[in-house]
Every structure is written in C-alpha cells, then in structure tokens.
A and B are shown apart, each in its own frame.
Chain A
Amino acid sequence: MAELTAFSFQSGTSLLHKLDVRFKLLFLILISLVSLGGGFTGLGALTGLVTGLSIHSRLPLKSAFKEFRFFLIFLVLILVARMLATPGTAIIEIKSFAITRSGLMSGVLICWRLVIIAFVGFLFIYTTPSSEIKAAVDWFLKPAAFIPGKRIATMMGLIARFIPVILNQARETTEAQRARCVENRKNPLYRIVRLGVPLIRRTFEQADRLIVAMEARCYSENRTDPDLSATRTDWLALLVIIIICGWIVSI
C-alpha cells in the first residue's frame, strides 16, 4: 500500500467538493487578490474562513503542513529579509544588522498572505479533479479565440495530476537516501544535489511511462469533459465570498 501525498484530489461530499469548479476557480482568484492587500484583521478573517473550509473538507492538515515544509524555508527567508531590510525602530541589534519593528510586521504580513494563498490553492486541488480543472480553464478561455485554450487547459490538468507524482518520488528518493545514512552528510548543497539529480531523472522516466500509458488509451486534447453546471448553491457561495472580500477591502 502506498502512502500518498495530501497534495492531490480526494473525493468527498463537502460543500467545496460539490461546488462548480468554475466558481471555485473564481474564489481562488478573489481570495488571493484580496489577501495580497489585506491587513491583520482581514487576514485573520480569511484565515478563519480557510481553516473552517479545510476542516469541513476534511483536508488532512498534518499531512498538508508536512508537504509545506519546503515552502516554510522560503517563508523564513522572506521574513528574515524583510526584518533586516526594512528601516524603522530597531528591536534587536547585532553588530551592523538591526531587526526593526516595521520589518517584522511587514515580514509576518507577507508570509501570512502567502500561507493563505497556498492553502486556498491546496484546498482547490484537494477538492477538484484535474479533469474538472481542465474543463473550467477551457471554458474560461473559450471566448479568447487567439489563446489555445484546450492546450493550456490540458497542460494545467496534467500539472495538477503530476504534482503528487513528483512529491511521491521526492519522498521515496529521500527515504532511500536516509536508509543509506545521507543524514551524516551535513553539507546541505551536497544533499540537495544528491536528491535533485535522481529525482529529476526518475520524474522524467515516470513522465515517459505515463505518456505511453496515456497514448495507449487514445489520449488527445479533444476529449469529453465533465459536465459543468452552476446551481443556486454556487451563486450563493459566490455572493458570500464577494461580501467577505468586499468587507476585507473596505477595512
């Protein structure tokens, strides 16, 4: 039995699972845009909303945070850079470096926004099959005749399908290396190279096998997409999200 990454679709009966994918895509864009301009109160409200939806959708939070560990390194770097680079009243001074209050506030704010955006994306992937993502992107791009909508939609669907595969490969390769005591090597660069090279090679091999399997089953861009239909619940949810986003923008 395989252990699976949480970063993939899981069928369910939650509200988010039932919503039309086009509305979910809109919510993703709206919440991301609003969080980029939100302050502490607004981000607090969005955090409450995202946490509530995560619990309701039964998103495995422990596994989600585990998948986020590499992203956390990125956030720490942003926080440190903001703390050191923003002018203002110094809280701590070490030699010529000073951590400022305004730097700390702005760093926390930026990281908080990114975490919210990442979690909304996580929720979207967790509650939406990639075939529906493809159908929705295709639907949104249809009016723009000059954009190859079907191709873009197919690529997005495949990316959503492939992320868990890459994460699984990364985990398996890491475990194989830990079994051979890679942890004794303290040089992070050495470890990154040792992980990265086989991971990239295995990912491409896996991609090759997947392509052959898809070709054997007549894969093409022109395929039957799932039926998309908006219900009253979708419109109601859109109204609620617009009200919340409007309130956050206004404060």
Chain B
Amino acid sequence: MDIIEIENLKHRFADGTLGLDGINLKIRAGAFVVVAGPNGSGKTTLIRHLNGLMLPTDGCVKVAGISVQKDLMRARRLVGMMFQDADSQIVGETVYQDVAFGPENLRLDNDQIRERVSLALDVVGLKDFAQQRPHLLSGGEKRRLAIAGILAMEPKVIAFDEPFASLDYPGVKQVLRQILTLHQAGHTILVITHDLEKVLAHADRLIIMQKGKIVRDGVPAEIVDDIETFGVRAPCASHLGMEVRSWLN
C-alpha cells in the first residue's frame, strides 16, 4: 500500500521562483527513503507538502489515501516532521511539556497525554530528563526529544530534515539508531540530506532532486554511481567500489 501519493506537484514561491516542478512520487508504507540533492533543490519544500505546512500551487498530495488539503490536521497527525534546527522545534519549557505539546493540541485527555508522553520518552531514552529544561540537552538529546514529540502524536510517516546536521559522532549514532528503531517499529521513514555517508546503508530507496525535479529514483546501489553529476557527494565506499557500510557497525 502506498502511504504517500504525489501527483504532478508544483510549488511556486511568492517571489515567482519555482520550488517544485511536476513531482510524481509514491512511497509505500514501511519504506526507508533517502531524499538527497544540493541546497535549493526542493527537498525541504517537498516534505513540507506532506503535512500541509506548504500547499501545492498545482497537483495533489495524498497521505493514506486522503488529500492533505482536505484534512490538514489528519495529515499533520499522520506525518511527523523533524526539522533541521532542533532548537526551533522545542516548544515546551521542560522535556515533558515539550513532548506533551502535540497530544495537547490533539485534545486528548490528561491521562492519555501522560501515557503517551511517558511512552515516547521511554522509546527515545529520555525518561530521566522529563523535568529538565530542553535547551540544556546536548545536540543528540535535543533531536531525540524532537523525535519523542513526534512519536507522542502516533504518526505513520516520520520525515527527518537533515537529522545529522551539526552533530558530533556519538550524536549521529544516537539519532541514526533511533531512526532505525522507528523503522523497525513499522514507521515509514523519509530522511532528507545532502550527506549520504551516514544513512545510505540503511535506505531501501534513494531519490535525487535537482532544481525542483526528481532526477534519479531507485535502489541506492543501482543509482549511487552517477549522483555526483547532480551535486551530491557519493559515499566514500562507493568511490572505492565497496558496499556502503552502516555507521553503527
């Protein structure tokens, strides 16, 4: 079953720039997709259409069979999004309150909220930090907190926008491990990055974007060889003719 269906999606910004130009894309439930491309290629614009943070100028985006525009709240509940700057995603004054923010907006009762927050913090290993101020967490912990905030809304799809940006090596491993756990738990994962090295070993599909269009789409091993012509650095291992290995090994 395709959980995301995009047909002829176009997005033009207020200044007239074409951000997305006729995107057609289907993503099956449970897939692990990496979307790569140089800056300004339209990666972030594309995922912001999945939960209605941006609306199409033309075309249609469906999540689990229903148009995003028809039911924005449903789309936002089904598609969780982790932004590039984890700090700007922090809304609560404590770790607990930040994770509770989504369920509170869904108007769940306080018992359900407590249950969801507790579960989400447990999954990301931040239960002991519940009363901590979020801004005092490390970079990796902040991203795990952002993941917990998304998990508490029980989404089907989780989109990560540059999840490894400005993280140290342990931070990258923490976040990567978390992403894999979520994938194993049945979530559809979309990772947007221009740095394939850290995540490509785990992806079952690679999409390359350039100037608002999808220019390559397929199994990573089959298309990785010529991606540098589109401004994306291929992983070192593929340069050496080797298999791309996980950062967790």
Residues in chain A within 8 A of chain B (CB atoms): 1-2, 4, 8-11, 129-131, 161, 168, 206, 209-210, 212-220, 222-227
Contact = CB atoms under 8 A, between A and B. Distances in A.
A210 B93 CA distance: 14
Contacts of B85: 209
Contacts of B76: 215-218
Given A1-B138, A209-B85, A227-B110, A217 B101 contact: yes
A206 B97 contact: no
A4 B136 contact: yes
Nearest to A207: B88
Given A2-B136, A11-B94, A224 B110 contact: yes
B15 interface: no
B51 A216 contact: yes
Contact of B102 (A2, A129, A218): A218
B103 A210 contact: no
B246 to A, nearest CB: 29
Contacts of B89: 213
Interface in B40-91: 51, 53, 73, 76-77, 80-81, 83, 85, 87-91
A177 B70 CA distance: 48
B10 to A, nearest CB: 21
Nearest to B133: A4
Secondary structure at chain A's binding surface: helix, strand, loop or mixed? loop
B88 to A, nearest CB: 4
A213 B88 contact: yes
> Could you say which of B73, B81, B93, B102 has the most chain A C-beta atoms within 10 Å of its C-beta?
B93
B128 interface: no
A8 B93 contact: yes
B93 A9 contact: yes
A218 B77 contact: yes
A2 B93 contact: no
Nearest to A168: B135
B135 A11 contact: no
17 contacts: A4-B135, A4-B136, A8-B133, A10-B133, A11-B131, A129-B94, A212-B88, A217-B76, A217-B101, A217-B102, A218-B76, A218-B153, A219-B101, A222-B107, A223-B107, A224-B103, A224-B108
Contacts of A214: 91, 101
Contacts of B81: 216
A114 to B, nearest CB: 26
Nearest to A212: B53
A210 B88 contact: yes
B153 to A, nearest CB: 7
Given A4-B135, A219-B101, A225-B104, 12 more contacts: A1-B138, A129-B94, A130-B93, A210-B88, A213-B90, A214-B101, A215-B76, A216-B51, A216-B53, A218-B77, A218-B106, A224-B107
A249 to B, nearest CB: 35
A220 B103 CA distance: 12
A168 B135 CA distance: 11
Contacts of B93: 8-9, 129-130, 161
A218 B73 contact: yes
B105 interface: yes
B109 interface: yes
Contacts of B92: 129, 131
